[in-house]
Amino acid sequence: MNCDMCGREGQLFDADVEGSVLVVCTSCTKFGTVLRKHAEEKYVSKYVETKKKEEESKPVNIIVSNYASLIKKSREKRGLKQDEFAKLLQEKESAIQHLESGKLEPSIVLAEKIEKQLKIKLIEVYREPVIAESSTETTRGPLTIGDLIKFKKK
């Protein structure tokens, strides 16, 4: 690996240079603050790849985008006033007003309480889409800016 500033090879350090963390050689450390000795790239990339795979595989609970209208319609359908509904949920009436106006997105815990009381679905599971590896990545490494320029010309 080479220095990000001058391109030299040799002993490298991670340094804060004007707010950015760069990998610099001994002579370029004077331009910033040394944070630590730079770790070997193979160990860092394996760690980063493992973390990315772990993060991609975990589903995330999100609140549906039309939660405000769902809550209001379902509450009215059951003949509940906002203050009555708030008491059922053990929440403040102002919280219900803000939820129904869309000013406040419910937490997952509150959404679960609302789902149980109104028998509606406010939470959905979101999974990060898996991007298939391209043929360029498997044969020559990761996609580069040069590869994108080649795609543009075709």
* Residues 23-53: tens digit of each pLDDT: 888 888 888 888 888 876 544 444 555 555 5
pTM: 0.50
Domain range enclosing 11: 1-42
In a domain? residue 86: yes
- Strand locations in the chain, DSSP E? 12-17, 20-25, 33-37, 60-63, 123-126
User: Given this model, what pLDDT does residue 44 score?
Assistant: 46
Whether residues 121 and 77 fall in one domain: yes
User: Given this model, what pLDDT does residue 150 score?
Assistant: 56
Residue 120's identity, in one-letter code, is I
- Please name which of 83, 52, 153, 73 lies closest in space to residue 119, comparing C-alpha atoms: 73
In a domain? residue 49: no
* Between 132 and 9, residue with greater pLDDT: 9
Number of domains, the chain: 2
> What mean pLDDT comes out for the span 6-22?
85
Tokens 């059951």 label which residue?
78
User: Given this model, what pLDDT does residue 94 score?
Assistant: 95
Per-residue model confidence as pLDDT tens digits over 84-139? 999 999 999 999 999 999 999 999 999 999 999 999 999 998 876 655 554 444 45
Count Cβ atoms below 10 Å from residue 154 Cβ, excluding itself.
4
In a domain? residue 18: yes
In a domain? residue 47: no
Whether residues 78 and 122 fall in one domain: yes
Residue 52's identity, in one-letter code, is K
